[in-house]
Amino acid sequence: MGAADRTKIADAASVERGDLSALIAPASIAFIGASERANAPATRGLRHCLRLGFAGELFAVNPKHGSLFGVPCFPSVDALPHPVDLAVIALPAAGTLQAVAECQRQGVRAVVICSSGWNESGEVGQERGRTLQSLLASSPMRVLGPNCIGVGAAGASFCVAYNSSFEHFAFRYRRPVGVVCQSGAMLGGLLLNGEEVGAGVEAFIHVGNASDISIEDAGRFLLQRPEIAALAMMIEGLSDGRAFAALAREARALHKRIAVFKAGASEVGRQAVRSHTGALAGSDELFDAVCRDEGIVRVAEPEDLLQVARVLCEKRATNGRRVLIYTLSGGGASVLADELCAQSLEVPNLSEGTAQACDALGDAFIRAANPFDVGSSVFSNPNAAGEALKIAAADPNIDAVAWIGVGAPRDERSTLLLGAALDALADCGKPALVLPLSGTAVEPGFARAHELGIPVARSVRSAALLLRHALHAAPSSLDVIEPTGLHTAAGRAIEAAPSLIMNEAEARREIAHAGVPMVSTVFASDMSALQAAAADATYPAALKGIAPGVAHKTEAGLVALRLANAHAVCAAAASMAHHHAGTLDGYTLEPMLEGGIETVMGVRIDPQFGAMLMFGLGGTAVELFHDVAFTQCPCTLDSARRLVEGTRASTLLRGFRGSPPADLDALLSALITLSKYAFAHAEHLLEMEINPFIVLPRGRGAYGVDALIIKRPQEAC
């Protein structure tokens, strides 16, 4: 192949660092460590490229052979006839560095390192990793891995992945989906299983240890390619949460979507992630919040990842919720209807025109309804049943269609019924799927559905999930402020020492100065000053004792509520002084706010995602009910509103069982103000909390009662 031809397939060989095109569109590949053993890692990649019809040049590198599997073999990288675009290094870790250096010297554009034994395996491996980083520091060559299964792309007809699942993977169904993954073993199963149910991909990248190319780098590169419409990510742990959020914003700017499956939702799962990759899985609640903020679709099971990514590729204008259930099973329809409701979808009535058109078919068993149960017509008049589906699917009250077949197409009648259904679904111009109540999507009878791109759902729950995302394939109006300026340094979580907890009076002043309304409070440094303050106080009143290092005063007996007079104030103060002898810095006295709803708002500075705003039910109920939600800082009016609506507190705030609606505008204003303060001061904070933050009836405002600020140690800033 000449130089002009090579340039046509791949980008120019002279590249700036950051270009990953050689990973997806290489014109030439060398397999370092290939051998006569058919299942050796490098050999498997070589055989896959031959099997898939790779059009570029292939070379093997092994001093023991002159050729392997019909491909010329050379004793070293230096002996290759010219620099290659991509090299796959399948040598033991100890010998890999020399091969990397040879590739660098010879102008190889990108390298896949297969071996383990690097940063994940003790001091020797970590030193090896540092040496690799040093080699790459001033080089345009990019490295995928180490500990990498491989990479592949349908457009270039190549796959250099080596676990056994890839022996059967063939890009049979090309969908505009790019896959990036941290787990090589799961990647093989994900791709093969997806292909067998018609959820194909265009390209995949396994990042392994991500010493050079991170999962965000790989995702960004794929999203920028015109043949990719959606990204599917399988994540074990994020090393840089802000880079992940930035990736989602880039996807939105490109009008593309991201679907994610993430391990580490439970504490056991997080421990497993740490032991496997050395990555910190982080808080699952915060990860969920970032996904919601940024329009990322998170799936609960890996089996749904590629199917969901597949429906996210659709560019339909619809953003509806109305689903037609066309069924051969009344029971199956009922179960699906329940699942659709759980996904906030609807099963509406059909129009009068649809009913009349179905009546005109002249079949006594066909009665237009939703669910549309064609019953015995499938036996007596299958043609009429197929025509009824076309009519019902075209109903203007319908946005999507689910066809429920009793069984997989294993005989003449079931094959005929499915064929007629596929004809109608393919032509309806709306999201549609097939749900078999027996059999599986991998059966040969569903091949035509896969070819037409009509999903065959693996379960009722999965069917509802796919329809939900197919109907909301365009991102909703997401308006999180683009973070600029200060960023919290990523790093380990820091335990709060007593000296880092700000005095409550100081915390209240700080928060009030930031613009969050706080209840007017009088500070008394001793009992004499408190007696004077109590004489002029408004009752009922609340008294709090101020003790250094105490974050939660209620548990420490430092809060007395609904005090009726000055005598009650002094008695409560005396009791606090008795139980905290010599440790109190003083007292705060404030009027009680009656008739409001106790909420909590706060901020957590997360090592991965930075400043995250929290809201929920407040007072002592916050830990009992755990009714809190998170969003990124700083937030806008719309994201603050979504934050509130994500909690059960929103029901109380709207007015519950005759209660007046609360002052939601005042609450949202306070949330936005706190989020901006936290974002601007994130480098100096660990946590903030206003609890309770009392929201009074509409028009009367909202005020913070208690404040907590935990500062970051100076040496950590």
Per-residue pLDDT reduced to its tens digit, 594-627: 889 999 999 988 888 999 999 998 876 666 667 8
User: Which are the contacts of 8, defined by CB distance < 8 A and separation ≥ 6?
Assistant: none
Q: What is the CB neighbour count within 10 angstroms for residue 685? A: 23
Instruction: Verify cis geometry, omega within 30 degrees of 0, for the bond prior to 146.
Output: yes
Sorting pLDDT into bands at 50, 70 and 90, what band is 3? very low
User: Which are the contacts of 230, defined by CB distance < 8 A and separation ≥ 6?
Assistant: 176, 177, 178, 256, 257, 258, 259, 309, 310, 312, 313
CATH 3.40.50.720 in the chain, residue ranges: 3-162
Helix axes 664-680, 637-645, angle to 10 degrees: 110
Whether the Cβ atoms of residue 403 and residue 452 lie closer than 8 Å to each other: no
Per-residue pLDDT reduced to its tens digit, 4-45: 343 333 443 343 555 899 999 999 999 999 999 999 999 999
The predicted model gives 537-563 an average pLDDT of 84
Q: Where are the beta strands (DSSP E) in 380-449?
A: 400-405, 432-436
pLDDT at 209: 92
Nearest to 303 by CA among 261, 258, 256, 257: 261
pLDDT at 237: 84
Q: What is the CB neighbour count within 10 angstroms for residue 1? A: 12
Print burial letters for 296-332: b (CB count within 10 Å at least 16), e (below 16).
bbbbeebbbbbbbbbbbbbebebebbbbbbbbbbeeb
The predicted model gives 288-304 an average pLDDT of 93
CATH 3.40.50.261 in the chain, residue ranges: 323-471
Per-residue pLDDT reduced to its tens digit, 317-372: 567 899 999 998 888 999 999 999 999 999 999 999 999 999 898 777 788 899 99
pLDDT above 60: residue 544: yes
CATH no. of 3-162: 3.40.50.720
The predicted model gives 95-107 an average pLDDT of 94
DSSP per-residue codes, 651-702: HHHT--TTPPPB-HHHHHHHHHHHHHHHHHTGGGEEEEEEEEEEEPBTTS-E
Nearest to 613 by CA among 665, 671, 683, 680: 671
Nearest to 160 by CA among 48, 67, 84, 56: 48
Distance CA 708, CA 697 (A): 25
Distance CA 187, CA 181 (A): 6
Q: Which of 56-60, 174-178, 482-486, 539-543 has the lowest mean pLDDT?
A: 482-486
Q: Which of 51-60, 231-240, 407-416, 429-438 has the lowest mean pLDDT?
A: 407-416
Per-residue pLDDT reduced to its tens digit, 273-287: 433 322 333 478 889
Which residues does residue 67 pair with via DSSP β-bridges, in sequence order? Answer: 72
pLDDT at 88: 98
Distance CA 457, CA 197 (A): 9
pLDDT at 191: 96
DSSP per-residue codes, 317-366: S----BEEEEES-HHHHHHHHHHHHHTT-B-PPPPHHHHHHHHTT--TT-
Query: Beta strand pairing status for 628-632 and 610-617?
Result: antiparallel
Give percent above pLDDT 70 in the chain: 88
Under CATH, to which class is 597-716 assigned? alpha beta
CATH no. of 520-591: 3.30.1490.20
Whether the Cβ atoms of residue 34 and residue 43 lie closer than 8 Å to each other: yes
Sorting pLDDT into bands at 50, 70 and 90, what band is 578? confident
The predicted model gives 558-584 an average pLDDT of 90
The predicted model gives 508-535 an average pLDDT of 92
How far from 56 is each of 11, 50, 52, 84, CA to CA, in Å? 13, 10, 12, 10
Across all residues in the chain, what is the average pLDDT? Answer: 87
Per-residue pLDDT reduced to its tens digit, 417-442: 899 999 999 999 999 999 998 888 89
Per-residue pLDDT reduced to its tens digit, 159-204: 999 989 999 999 999 999 999 999 888 999 999 999 999 999 999 9
Distance CA 632, CA 39 (A): 47
End-to-end distance of the chain based on CA atoms, in angstroms?
56
pLDDT at 17: 57
pLDDT at 16: 53
Helix, strand, or coil (residue 175)? coil
Distance CA 306, CA 199 (A): 6
The DSSP 8-state label assigned to residue 483 in this structure reads P
pLDDT at 270: 47
Instruction: Say which residue the tokens 């007015």 belong to.
Output: 655
Alpha-carbon torsion (375, 376, 378, 384), positive or negative: negative
Query: Beta strand pairing status for 28-32 and 57-61?
Result: parallel
pLDDT at 268: 52
Distance CA 39, CA 23 (A): 22
pLDDT above 90: residue 579: no
pLDDT above 80: residue 536: yes
Q: Which of 105-119, 524-538, 620-634 has the lowest mean pLDDT?
A: 620-634
Distance CA 179, CA 231 (A): 6
Residue 282 CA to chain centroid, in angstroms? 13
Sheet holding 400-405, edge to edge: 372-373, 323-327, 400-405, 432-436
Print burial letters for 357-393: b (CB count within 10 Å at least 16), e (below 16).
bbeebebebbebebbbbbbebbeebbebbbbbbbbbb
pLDDT above 80: residue 669: yes
CATH no. of 323-471: 3.40.50.261
HEC readout, 265-293: CCHHHHHHHHHHHCCCCCCHHHHHHHHHH
The DSSP 8-state label assigned to residue 502 in this structure reads P
pLDDT above 80: residue 678: yes
DSSP per-residue codes, 6-26: HHHHS--S---TT--HHHHS-
Q: Phi, psi at residue 334, to the nearest 5°? A: -65, -45
pLDDT at 716: 53
The predicted model gives 458-468 an average pLDDT of 95
